[in-house]
A and B are shown apart, each in its own frame.
Chain A
Amino acid sequence: MSFASVKGKLEQYRAFMSYRYLAYTFELKQLLLQLKSFGLIFLVVLGSSILGLVLLLFLGLGKIIDSTDAPAYGAQMALFYLLLQSVMLSAIKSAIKNSKQRLFQHTIACPSWLNIADIKLLLISNGWLIASLLIALDLTWAQWIKVPHFFVFMFIQLGLGIVCLYKPSALVYGFTLSTLFLFTPFELSPLIYLWVLQLSFF
């Protein structure tokens, strides 16, 4: 492949990606407009506690990391986080995939570009995964070795996002199996709990 053709391909890809960002922001704006009236109620009721909610999000992630003493509780917390993430991603799925113009996208780009664009937009939309990444970046090497289950959790967050986009029916089976498993009277290590969660979904 010559340099000119690579450059041409890159420009085509850039044009396609800029369209996807435009479509994504447009659809998100439309969603926010629909939520505008609810937003005012939320702002009045929860306005003062928004900071607290953000802190609670990180506190919950802390519980997932430090679940050596109560692994079942940590795994339940992880499942709750995954459930919240799935609800949020399901709500904005059509914006991420630009579902309405999916066929049009197929006429201007190869299927792999569509998938790359989906994953890129998924990563910037997944606030739950971003929060986990922020915590993971803050961990020292010694801490990383002690909490391998947290990396399995982040992997599940990423994988579940992709499942949510392409095979949402798998979420129902996954959550049902995981819930049944988590409420059985076993005491396992946090890593095994999260491996089983992963197996339930993928």
Chain B
Amino acid sequence: MMLAGLDKPQSGSLLFAGRELNEPTKTAAIASDRITLPDFLTAHQIIDLSVSAIDCPWPHELVKGFSFTAFLNTRFDALSSGNQKKCQLILALMRKSPYLLLDEPSAALDQTSIEHLLQLLDVYLNDKPNGQIIITCHEPAVFIEHGFKCVSL
């Protein structure tokens, strides 16, 4: 949360690529269950709002890739936990931030979506030379198999 600028540190500063970061929310994108999305809006409205507020292109490819199109007009609170997770991931990935923080990204996701996520992560850092992807999860096997470095906490 601190890395994403959502919690304020009591002291000290955050360094990204050796430089102090003043606006972490612009440099780091996060997908986490702790960020409660507006459950009174549809997934389409939430994506629309984020696209307008952060000024990025509409994530057509991500929506299609996660097979989420059919659920765009469903209210967020009526989505299954897997689809809620997909919505969180779409919101984080569409920002194209150099630092991507994913909290339990595979939880509640079906196998096809996990494979699609891994494909997206493979190419995510191609245009971000100083970028990093940080994943926290209880079942890291799928990510370790894919080449992610595991650090136990």
Contacts and interface: CB of A to CB of B under 8 A. Distances in A.
Interface of A: 8, 11-12, 15-16, 19, 22-23, 26, 100-101, 103-104, 106-110
B23 interface: yes
Given A107-B25, A108-B50, A110-B25, A8 B55 contact: yes
Chain B binding site: helix, strand, loop or mixed by DSSP?
loop
Contacts of A12: 52-55
- Pick from B6, B30, B37, B53 the residue with the most CB of A within 10 Å: B53
A13 B52 CA distance: 9
Contact of A11 (B4, B49, B52): B52
A22 B53 CA distance: 15
- Pick from A11, A23, A26, A107 the residue with the most CB of B within 10 Å: A107
29 contacts: A8-B55, A11-B55, A12-B52, A12-B55, A15-B52, A15-B53, A16-B53, A19-B38, A19-B53, A23-B38, A23-B40, A26-B40, A100-B36, A101-B36, A101-B37, A101-B38, A103-B1, A103-B36, A104-B36, A104-B37, A104-B38, A106-B6, A107-B4, A107-B6, A107-B29, A107-B30, A107-B35, A108-B53, A108-B54
Contacts of A103: 1, 6, 34-36
A22 B42 CA distance: 13
Interface residues of B, number: 22
B5 interface: yes
Contacts of A15: 49, 52-53
